[in-house]
Amino acid sequence: QPTQSSLTLSSSSPTPPPTTSAAKNSPFYPQLLQTLKNVFKLPSFRTNQLEAVVANMEGRDVFVLMPTGGGKSLCYQLPAVCVSESRGHLTIVVTPLIALMDDQVKQLRNRFKVNAIAWNAESSVTERLLSSGDVPIVYVTPEKLKDSGFARDIMQAVDRKGLIARFVIDEAHCISTWGQDFREAYAALGELRQRYPNVPIMALTATANQTTIRDIISQLKLKNPVQLVQSFNRPNLHYIVHEKKGSKISDTIAEAIQARFRGQSGVIYCRAKMTCENLSKALSQKGIRATYYHAGLSPDDRQQAASEWLEGRVSVIAFGMGIDKADVRFVIHADMPKNLSGYGNSTITRIDSDNPTRYYQETGRAGRDGLPAECILYYNYQDLRSLRTMIDNDDNAASTPESKARQKLAVAEMYSYCRNCSKCRRAEILAHFDEKFDKKNCNKTCDVCSNPVSLVKTDATDIARSVLKLVTSAGNNRANLAQGQIVEVLKGSMSAPIKKFSGLDGYGEAKAEDKDLLDLVVKDLLFKEVLDTVSVQHNNSAFHTQYIQPGPKYQIFQKELDKKPFIVTWRPKKAQGKRTNAGAGAVDPTARKGRGKRTEIAEDPIEEDDLYVDDD
């Protein structure tokens, strides 16, 4: 696959990793392919899997960096069940978590009929099996290897008989103090090389930057390892984010498709099945060949939709599931997804990464042929609100308060990714994988880097104060203000529906301000949960309106405002007056004397993406 490059680190790997074609010429290839199909029931290898497996079969040390979900397990499970002539059969896999270990063992046994064992408790059966070397895969924690002299004795005995085929260090970044997941017991794995000099080692991880990679290799004392490092960057994808405003999303999407992707293959992700269906119908009515596909369809209908799309009889598919096709030219998100990647930097987030809506993975379906493709995401504050509500109302037993908090953070992160207008999208996405990306290399392949409108940082402290004042006053006077009305009231609009609020504190206080800026401040305060919305039903109708009220962080924010300025980064459509400062530079402190007290700009102002995270 040309889109997922595998790159070598020239500094520490004098021998390049085998290319796919070289790996296919390996004498092990036929057996490996057969085992892949017969035991693991998989049709083909994914990026770098074959290379890793072949190098390992050849007795080389191997280092693998592969995204979570990329298929690291297969890199060692496959060689483990292949008969190696020169070495014994035993593959010893070090993994950090007993839960993961049990899971893998269960899967190997039940699904693939491979006799694997988890070596945690002392058990005579396990030890007898081990001593005989007659078991293909043994999972063990690093603590067990470090602390149990008995375990080491057994291993040494097995090794003397030449029965250990390889050591596998999964989540190998835990050995590095550079990473966030350093584990004391991993450090002791450095001894494996001295104790078992003839046993090849394979180290795998999904999170390592260059420093960590070098550290892992040196700590495990890997000898001239084959390094298979997969970048998460997809250079041929363009990342674009739009706020949903005004017109219907189906109109917006239809326009985009007709303007730029006429007749081309694309995917539209929607959060709800209904949206899938409605969107697909709306697009069809506008002459775009579209269909939909989601888990609620019968297998037949799903199959039919999928094949129509795969065979190009329809060009656009609106769905919530995965089908792979090489020439997908655009991936559109009609709603904001739950999180950016589903791959956190810590082991904890990775465990519940089984999230159906993963922005990175979903956009990853675009441009698998290596040709340019666009990823367009439509979002708005409503998306954030409904996701937050969904998490709150989730009464699944598995949803602990901690996991809800984590999901909410992920959603917040997703929203600030969208709302952000100053940071390169590609750099932001790659930062999730610990991959540093210099935005100079983006070459305008994201909407932030290619936006010609100059960026402005505005001190919006006074505006925020006015908003709070108005919301408090509305509460005291039992006045219901909708989100859009807040802006109108602050502007001192004389229109009939707004004039009735002229008695409230704050009315007309921001007459001179740009409407877009006011709107942005209100949304940023909603995002930060300084404000909240309450849904009110109209008399005898199914019609609900969202009214603004103080949110859970109202008071914290109010106090903070006395100490720090509130800075908003945005791109004004109209040229800005004295209170803003063109360019992405610092805020001009003197620009604030128009209203309110004059404050020096603090070193760390409150910014729109700061969140108030509860400590408990």
Interface with ligand ADP (CB under 6 A): 42, 45-46, 49, 66, 68-74
The answer to whether 523 contacts Mg ion (rule: CB under 5 A) is no
Query: Which residue lies nearer to ligand ADP by CB, 36 or 412?
Result: 36
What does R_g of the chain's alpha carbons equal in angstroms? Answer: 28
Strand-pair category, 290-293 with 266-269:
unpaired
Q: Least separation, in Å, of the C-beta of 77 and ligand ADP?
A: 8
Beta bridge partners of 205: 65
Residue 412's H or E segment, with its range, is helix 401-419
Structure tokens at 573: 């459509």
**Contact code string over 399-438 relative to Zn ion, x by CB under 5 A:** -------------------------x-x------------
Per-residue CA distances from 196 to 58, 85, 145, 161, 192 (Å): 17, 19, 13, 12, 6
Q: Least separation, in Å, of the C-beta of 429 and ligand ADP?
A: 18
Query: Which residue lies nearer to Zn ion by CB, 317 or 446?
Result: 446
| One of 60, 72, 338, 523 touching Mg ion (CB under 5 A) | 72
Q: Least separation, in Å, of the C-beta of 530 and ligand ADP?
A: 38
In the chain, % helix, strand, coil (3-state, to 5) comes to: 40, 15, 45
DSSP state of 612: -
Report how far residue 364's alpha carbon sits from residue 358's, in angstroms, rounded to the nearest whole number.
Answer: 10
Binding partner of residue 442 among Mg ion, Zn ion, ligand ADP, none, CB cut-off 5 to 8 Å per kind = Zn ion
Helices 483-491, 461-476: axis angle to 10 degrees equals 110
Determine the size of the site formed for Mg ion (CB under 5 A).
1
Chain positions 240 to 259 lying near Mg ion, rule: CB under 5 A, are none
Beta bridge partners of 567: 459, 607
Q: Least separation, in Å, of the C-beta of 233 and Mg ion?
A: 21
Query: Which residue lies nearer to Mg ion by CB, 72 or 183?
Result: 72
Stretch that binds Zn ion, among 165-173, 281-289, 428-436, 449-457 (CB under 5 A): 449-457
Q: Least separation, in Å, of the C-beta of 64 and Mg ion?
A: 10
Q: Least separation, in Å, of the C-beta of 7 and Zn ion?
A: 20
Strands (E), 106-245: 116-118, 137-140, 164-169, 201-205, 226-230, 237-243
Residues, the chain: 616
Binding partner of residue 424 among ligand ADP, Mg ion, Zn ion, none, CB cut-off 5 to 8 Å per kind = Zn ion
Binding partner of residue 551 among ligand ADP, Zn ion, Mg ion, none, CB cut-off 5 to 8 Å per kind = none
Q: What is the DSSP string of 66-121?
A: --TTS-HHHHHHHHHHSPPSSS-SEEEEE-S-HHHHHHHHHHHHHTT---EEE--S
The answer to whether 350 contacts Mg ion (rule: CB under 5 A) is no
Stretch that binds Mg ion, among 67-75, 110-118, 311-319, 377-385 (CB under 5 A): 67-75
Which residue is it, tokens 């103090």?
177
Query: Which residue lies nearer to Zn ion by CB, 237 or 517?
Result: 237
The answer to whether 449 contacts Zn ion (rule: CB under 5 A) is yes
Query: Which residue lies nearer to Mg ion by CB, 72 or 89?
Result: 72
Query: Which residue lies nearer to Mg ion by CB, 72 or 425?
Result: 72
The answer to whether 446 contacts Zn ion (rule: CB under 5 A) is yes
Report how far residue 404's alpha carbon sits from residue 406's, in angstroms, rounded to the nearest whole number.
Answer: 5
Q: Least separation, in Å, of the C-beta of 21 and ligand ADP?
A: 18
Are 271 and 411 spatial neighbours (Cβ–Cβ below 8 Å)? Answer: no
Binding partner of residue 42 among Mg ion, ligand ADP, Zn ion, none, CB cut-off 5 to 8 Å per kind = ligand ADP
Beta bridge partners of 116: 137
Judge residue 288's burial from the number of C-beta atoms within 10 Å of its C-beta, 0-12 exposed, 13-18 middle, 19 or more buried. Answer: buried
Residue 497's H or E segment, with its range, is helix 496-499
The answer to whether 442 contacts Zn ion (rule: CB under 5 A) is yes
Give the SS3 label for residue 380. Answer: coil
Report how far residue 322's alpha carbon sits from residue 329's, in angstroms, rounded to the nearest whole number.
Answer: 16
Binding partner of residue 291 among Zn ion, ligand ADP, Mg ion, none, CB cut-off 5 to 8 Å per kind = none
Query: Which residue lies nearer to ligand ADP by CB, 41 or 440?
Result: 41
Binding partner of residue 504 among ligand ADP, Mg ion, Zn ion, none, CB cut-off 5 to 8 Å per kind = none
Query: Which residue lies nearer to ligand ADP by CB, 72 or 388?
Result: 72
Q: Least separation, in Å, of the C-beta of 589 and ligand ADP?
A: 49
DSSP state of 319: E
Give which of 46, 67, 45, 64 is closest to 55, Cα–Cα.
64
Report how far residue 71's alpha carbon sits from residue 66's, in angstroms, rounded to the nearest whole number.
Answer: 8
Query: Which residue lies nearer to Zn ion by CB, 257 or 449?
Result: 449
Q: Least separation, in Å, of the C-beta of 293 and ligand ADP?
A: 20
The answer to whether 173 contacts Mg ion (rule: CB under 5 A) is no
Beta bridge partners of 566: 606
Binding site for Zn ion (CB under 5 A): 424, 426, 442, 446, 449
State the residues that interact with Mg ion by CB under 5 A.
72
